[in-house]
Amino acid sequence: MACATPVLTTPRLSLPEVGGDAVAYTSEDPAQIAADLAALLDDEARRLALAKAGFDRAKEFTWESSAEVHVAAWSRAAA
C-alpha cells in the first residue's frame, strides 16, 4: 500500500482493519484468488483507484501515531 500498489488479500486476522476499503478482498480458495487477480489485472481503473486508496491509507500508519497509541495505553494501565 505504501508503494501505491493495489492489494488483493483475504479478510483474515487484522487485514480488514488495516486495509479497510483501500484493498480488494477475495476468499481463500485458490481458484477464486486466481479469478479475482485476473479481474483486477484486467481493470486498470480499479487498480489505479486501489493504488491511490492504499497509498492514502498507508499514510495513516506512522511510527509517531503508533507511539502515541502505546503511550496512551501504558498511561491508562499505570493509572
For 14-70, what is each residue's pLDDT tens digit? 999 999 999 999 999 999 999 999 999 999 999 999 999 999 999 998 999 899 999
- pTM score, whole prediction: 0.78
pLDDT at 8: 97
Helix (H) or strand (E) holding 24: strand 24-25
For the chain, give every domain's residue range.
8-78
pLDDT at 10: 96
Q: Are 55 and 6 in contact (CB under 8 A)?
A: no
Tell me the C-alpha to C-alpha distance, in Å, between residue 73 and each of 17, 63, 67, 70.
Answer: 19, 15, 10, 5
pLDDT at 64: 92
* DSSP-assigned letter for residue 79: -
pLDDT at 47: 98
